[in-house]
Amino acid sequence: MMRRLRLAIPNKGRLVEPTVTLLRDAGLVFEAGERALVARVQNFELDILFVRTNDIVEFVCDGVAELGITGLDLVAESGSSVTQVRKLGFGRCRLTIAVPNDSPYRAPADLAGLRVATSHMNLTKRYFAERSIPVDVIPVSGAAEVAPRLGLAEAIVDLVSTGSTMVVNGLRPIEEVFESEAVLLANPKALEQDGAVLAQVETMLGATLAARDRKYLMMNAPETKLAELEDLLPGLESPSIIPLAHKGMVAIHSVVEADAVWSLLPRLKAAGASGILILPIEKLVP
Ligand code: AMP
């Protein structure tokens, strides 16, 4: 009998929606109630624990959950010994040094002797220590962007994705400290004991993510145009060519990057393709 594993995911904040969507897209069936702490996955040996984004690394490190999904910045900040199984492609952001627009500071070295407010104490201290820039790191639990205005610090180190929070607060980025995105974590001991099930979860999520970026293209074309069309369609390996009942005509099937589809279509048509179908891919295991 397989042991039921626990996956800790954020219960609040910006990582909730993309995390729950990924798990559902992966085919896991569960109820995510507003206040539920645990959800039982109905079609897989997994329980989902809804916890604070900030607590997930600790939960996985302590073995309260075998698996977790949280931001890579929080993993790096904690310095805990959890295994990063894979990046998940959402929750992308950059831990960035920023200063008020009207300040004279242009580079991290200009901040020597000054105060830097952040909720990422360890990453910030390490960054400045590695460059031998002496700064006073001021801990804040959130909203670091208001620290300069409150006179708490001359600079901040905070997460930025679009940059609009910085703009609204009259701040200008001067340097990137760390690049982050959501990651799947595992407890190292659990990886040894339950490696097979954990690998299943990884494959499940990986196949779901890989499928999101690709489309399945089907089209008809005269056999004489095959070489030209094949050049346009790298596919996963090479496109499949299927003879059609109509002599001299073939069907071509190929997997392409989703982002490339729109620029590809006119070129395929110009090269002789017709009846082009674009289909979603549900799961993809390379
Ligand atoms: P939360 O504070 O619960 O919304 O989640 C914070 C986590 O979301 C951070 O630790 C990052 O991993 C991630 N994140 C992604 N984009 C941003 C952003 N622009 N600002 C803050 N956190 C972000």
Question: Does residue 186 share a domain with residue 163?
Answer: no
Q: Which atom of ligand 1 is nearest to the CA of 91?
A: 15
Provide the whole-model pTM.
0.90
Best mutation site among 9, 12, 14, 55 for ligand 1 pocket (most ligand atoms within 8 Å of CB): 14
The pLDDT assigned to 32 comes to 80
Question: Does residue 165 share a domain with residue 111?
Answer: yes
Q: Which atom of ligand 1 is nearest to the CA of 161?
A: 19
Distance between CA atoms of 13 and 16, rounded to whole angstroms?
6
The pLDDT assigned to 1 comes to 53
Q: How crowded is residue 277: how many other Cβ atoms within 10 Å of its Cβ? A: 12
Distance 93 CA to ligand 1 centre (A): 7
Residue 189 burial (10 A CB sphere; 0-12, 13-18, 19+) = exposed
Question: Does residue 203 share a domain with residue 75?
Answer: yes
Q: Per the structure block, which two tokens stand in for 276? A: 């082009």
Q: What is the pLDDT along the chain (286 residues), one digit of tens a residue?
A: 567 899 999 999 999 999 999 999 999 999 987 677 999 999 999 999 999 999 999 999 999 999 999 999 999 999 999 999 999 999 999 999 999 999 999 999 999 999 999 999 999 999 999 999 999 999 999 889 999 999 999 999 999 999 999 999 999 999 999 999 999 999 999 999 988 989 999 999 999 999 999 999 999 999 999 999 999 997 667 889 999 998 899 999 999 999 999 999 999 999 999 999 999 999 999 8
Q: Per the structure block, which two tokens stand in for 217? A: 């293209």
Distance between CA atoms of 238 and 257, rounded to whole angstroms?
14
The pLDDT assigned to 235 comes to 65
Q: Which residues contact 51 (CB under 8 A, 6 or more apart)?
A: 8, 9, 10, 11, 37, 59
Question: Does residue 249 share a domain with residue 175?
Answer: no
Question: Is 286 part of any domain?
Answer: no
The CATH number for 12's domain is 3.40.190.10
**Ligand 1 binding pocket, CB closer than 6 Å:** 10, 12-15, 53, 71, 73-74, 91, 93, 159-161, 180
3-state secondary structure 131-162: CCCCCEEEECCCCHHHCCCCCCCCEEEEEECC
Question: Does residue 83 share a domain with residue 20?
Answer: yes
Question: Does residue 187 share a domain with residue 83?
Answer: yes
The CATH number for 250's domain is 3.30.70.120
Question: Is 269 part of any domain?
Answer: yes
Distance 181 CA to ligand 1 centre (A): 9
Q: How many domains are there within the chain?
A: 3
Residue nearest atom 22 in ligand 1 by C-alpha distance: 159
Question: Does residue 174 share a domain with residue 46?
Answer: no
Q: Which atom of ligand 1 is nearest to the CA of 71?
A: 12
Residue matched to tokens 């999520």: 205
Q: Residue 6 — φ and ψ, nearest 5°?
A: -120, 135
